[in-house]
């Protein structure tokens, strides 16, 4: 068992697009750990039909959002294509932080955490409860609302709103 405390965590996701809910989890992770890497997954086969935004666009939206909220300090943003645990091992990160909204997130996250434990038992899976302010937000809700002409300004930062064509 490792004696050292965790100094570096990864916050992974597809971020298609990044929302205020994700940014809340990222900011709170940074409050707990001195170094945070936001890992944007290629997720090419997500839901069988790919992502709305390219990997480069999703990375850029996270970077721009961190700048807009002025929370860049100690936070890196990287794209990744392989296994999350391989990335954590490459970076020497001691944990992965994920946000939990409703119980519906729990089953999925438990399955992922179990699998990841088998792949890399030294990497902790750490969960934060989403802030009640953001518990109803998801990227899919944002995409649907934007596609139907709805106001998304309370869900995503300005740069994302522009990319969604809702500025
Ligand atoms: O925002 P999402 O789509 O819920 O994020 C899911 C993500 C990207 C964290 C997850 O799919 C992932 O870890 N993908 C990388 C591939 C991998 O490591 N798979 C094995 C663990 S299930």
CB-based contacts of 37: which residues, under 8 Å, 6+ apart?
Answer: 8, 9, 10, 11, 75, 76, 77, 78, 91, 93
Q: What is the pLDDT of residue 103?
A: 80
Ligand 1 center from residue 46 Cα (angstroms): 9
Does the annotation mark 139 as catalytic? Answer: yes
> How far is the C-alpha of 152 from the C-alpha of 55, rounded, in Å?
21
pTM metric for this prediction: 0.95
**pLDDT-based confidence at 114, cuts 50/70/90?**
very high
Q: What is the pLDDT of residues 22-63, one digit of tens each?
A: 999 999 999 999 999 999 999 877 666 799 999 999 999 999
Reply yes or no on whether 8 is catalytic: no
**Catalytic pick from 63, 139, 161, 163?**
139
């Amino acid at each position: 068992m490792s004696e050292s405390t965790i100094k570096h965590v990864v916050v992974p996701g597809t971020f298609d697009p990044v929302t205020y809910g994700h940014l809340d989890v990222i900011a709170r992770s940074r409050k707990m750990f001195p170094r945070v890497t936001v890992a944007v997954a290629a997720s090419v086969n997500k839901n069988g039909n790919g992502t709305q935004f390219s990997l480069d666009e999703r990375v850029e939206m996270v970077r721009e959002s961190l700048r807009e909220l002025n929370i860049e300090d100690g936070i890196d943003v990287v794209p990744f294509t392989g296994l999350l645990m391989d990335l954590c091992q490459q970076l020497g990160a001691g944990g992965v932080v994920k946000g939990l909204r409703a119980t519906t997130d729990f089953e999925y996250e438990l399955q992922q955490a179990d699998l990841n434990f088998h792949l890399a038992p030294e990497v902790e899976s750490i969960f934060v409860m989403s802030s009640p302010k953001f518990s109803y937000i998801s990227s899919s809700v944002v995409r649907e609302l934007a596609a139907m002409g709805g106001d998304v300004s309370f869900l995503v930062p300005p740069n994302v709103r522009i990319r969604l064509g809702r500025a």
